[in-house]
Amino acid sequence: MTSSVVAVWSHRNALRLLVRRDLAVKYQQSVLGYLWSLIEPLAMGLIYWFVFGVLYDTGHHLGEASDSYPLFLITGIFAWMWTNAAISEATNALTGQARLITTMKVPREVFPLGRVIGRFAEYLAGLPILVLLAIIFGEFQLRWSMLALPLAILIQGALLIGIALLLSSLNVLLRDVERFMRLLTRVLFYATPIIYPLALVRDSSMPGWVKTLYDVNPLVGIFQLHHAVWYPAELDLRLTVISAVGSVLTLFFGWWVFRSLEPAVLKEL
Amino acid sequence: MSQPIIEARDLGIRFVRNRRRQLRLREMIIHRGGRQPRGDEFWPLRHVTYDLYPGEAIGVIGRNGTGKSTMLRLIAGVLIPDEGSIKVRGAVAPLLELSAGFSNDLTGRENVHLVGSLHGLTPNELKHKFDEIIAFAGDQVEKAIDTPVRHYSSGMKVRLGFSIISQLAHPILLVDEVLAVGDAEFRKKCYATMERLLAEGRTLVLVSHNESDLTRFCKRGLYLDGGLLKVDGTVTEALGAYNAAARR
């Protein structure tokens, strides 16, 4: 693994250009360009706010922070957009760039990696909006819990890179992966505390084993960290450890699968 | 003689025909890998052993589908062998496909930067060599440098691709039948460049069906037939074997 890390690092310039190319191509023919990466999650947030905030009053489960449900929503949705887009775009990172991959010797890891980094750049672009919302809702305070954000990003990055490596190589051999993931990401969206607070799951009448299963999803801990930036009460050390371990394992597993499928993948492209 | 720059030892790669069919879910579950469909496997290249020394120019000759391009891809490292090994001591500048890996959505300028840096040019080198690359590719490309590559003719793409490759300082040059596409004027430029690169001591592996190209650059020839290395000798010997086989 160290050798491929070194190889990727020595091609970091190529990686940077791939990311820039992806972003350039993505927004090439749209008037609003990069703004789309903000408009989409904000519109989604608006919809969920209407359904769950206004109609179902999900916010009151937040306790004292019940007034700032929109901030809670947008925090989750921004982080989710990174997850969702990275997974779906990484899945065809190899199949969609076959021409580049079959004509030059670059460590193949850079292609899925580039997709994860590209979506991360969009996430970063949304952070100022998040801060602005936090100020508006009066939740913006400089305190230790803010360190949850870099930690969340780190764990999430490891998880997404692992998933990206796994799916991109698998998708070359089995095109079903792409369709399957579209379904699975939808499931994951609701199986993660994004639009609802974790307390709702905790207080629900589901049997204990379902709740345990729920906690094993590494995204749960990651999103709790994202929320903990504004709501320190959401911080849960046990969940953080679970998601950190799960993410690192996924990263190693994804890398291993990528390496072992590589010869077959190259023949197939 | 010095250490070989490319060392192929019993090199082989296996492809599976109809892999799509083989991977049907039903068959995966029913056979569970118990019955290997051996009949569908084939080896585009097998038992190939040769050494290539720095500064050599070698021509690879053979009919269509006999593993020439597969061999170049193995040298370039964009395929991984199933059998044997290939050791390449030095960076490789490959021109394997007409499209040279360009993305259709990007302009010529963006493609030069992307492809150039994927081939290992640093941003600084790219800045210095950019004008040279464009100038070499000709007026037509120079005028279209800010239009997307999808509007380029195949000749223009090859020109641009070749001029990027020729700017690389890599010791090994792989060229796969791309010279046939350029017009007479560009071919003349290519010949001059290739001669200059060879004079600098680069190593060249050339795949071609053009006898005069082969004899012009290469002293040594490899003749491939059915994935096997049949002749490893002078280019005249290899061409002789190729022509003898073609007459049959």
**How many domains is chain A built from?**
1
* Residues of chain B contacting residue A18, judged by C-beta atoms under 8 Å apart: 114
Cα(A240)–Cα(A232) distance, integer angstroms? 13
CB A21 within 8 A of CB B116: no
Mean pLDDT of B36-50: 77
From the list A21, A28, A105, the residue facing B92 with the nearest CB is A105
Query: Does residue B99 sit at the A interface (CB-CB below 8 Å)?
Result: yes
Mean pLDDT of B163-182: 83
Residue B90 — left, alpha, or beta (φ > 0 → left; ψ -120 to 50 → alpha)? left
Predicted pLDDT of residue B19: 58
Cα(A261)–Cα(B150) distance, integer angstroms? 32
Model confidence at B25, pLDDT cuts 50, 70, 90, reads low
Report the mean per-residue pLDDT for chain B: 84
* Three-class secondary structure of residue B119 per DSSP: coil
CB within 8 A of B78, min separation 6: which ones? A101, A102, A103, A104, A105, A266, B94, B96
Bridge partners, residue B220, by sequence? B58, B234
Query: Does residue B44 sit at the A interface (CB-CB below 8 Å)?
Result: no
Q: What is the DSSP string of B33-97?
A: TSS--GGGEEEEEEEEEEEE-TT-EEEEE--TTSSHHHHHHHHHTSS--SEEEEEE-S-EEEE-S
Query: Does residue A3 sit at the B interface (CB-CB below 8 Å)?
Result: no
CA dihedral B80, B84, B88, B92 (to 10 degrees): -30
Predicted pLDDT of residue B18: 63
- The pLDDT tens digits of the residues spanning A97-113 come to 888 888 888 889 999 99
**Placement of tokens 């690389």 in the chain:** B168
Query: Does residue A202 sit at the B interface (CB-CB below 8 Å)?
Result: no
Contact A99 B23 (CB under 8 A): no
Residue B119 has pLDDT above 90, yes or no: no
The number of helices, as runs of H, and strands, as runs of E, in chain B is 10, 9
| Domain membership of residue A114 as a residue range | 2-268
Residue B27 has pLDDT above 70, yes or no: no
Contacts of B121-124 spanning 24+ positions with Cβ under 8 A: B121/B167, B121/B168, B122/A13, B123/A13
Distance from CA of A72 to the nearest CA of B (A): 38
Mean pLDDT of B82-91: 90
The helix or strand, by DSSP H or E, that contains position A130, with its residue range, turns out to be: helix A110-136
Name the residue in chain B with its Cα closest to that of A264. B80
Residues of chain A with pLDDT under 50: none
CB A126 within 8 A of CB A39: no
Model confidence at B30, pLDDT cuts 50, 70, 90, reads low
- Give backbone dihedrals phi and psi of B222, rounded to 5 degrees, phi first: -115, 130
Cβ contacts below 8 Å, chain A against chain B, sum to: 68
Predicted pLDDT of residue B246: 79
ipTM here: 0.80
* Three-class secondary structure of residue A143 per DSSP: coil
From the list A14, A174, A266, the residue facing B78 with the nearest CB is A266
Q: From the candidates A97, A265, A267, A269, which should be mutated to test the interface with B, based on the most B CB atoms within 10 A?
A: A267
Bridge partners, residue B192, by sequence? none
Mean pLDDT of B210-234: 88
Cα(A1)–Cα(A257) distance, integer angstroms? 12
Predicted pLDDT of residue A156: 97
Predicted pLDDT of residue B31: 52
- The pLDDT tens digits of the residues spanning B48-71 come to 999 999 989 999 988 888 888 888
CB B174 within 8 A of CB B96: yes
Mean pLDDT of B118-136: 88
Q: From the candidates B117, B147, B173, which should be mutated to test the interface with A, based on the most A CB atoms within 10 A?
A: B117
From the list B13, B101, B103, the residue facing A104 with the nearest CB is B101
Query: Does residue B52 sit at the A interface (CB-CB below 8 Å)?
Result: no
* Residues of chain A contacting residue B118, judged by C-beta atoms under 8 Å apart: 11, 14, 17, 100, 104, 106
From the list A28, A173, A262, the residue facing B105 with the nearest CB is A28
Domains of chain B, CATH where assigned? 55-82+91-247 (3.40.50.300)
Verdict on whether the full-model pTM lies above 0.95: no
Residue B211 has pLDDT above 90, yes or no: no
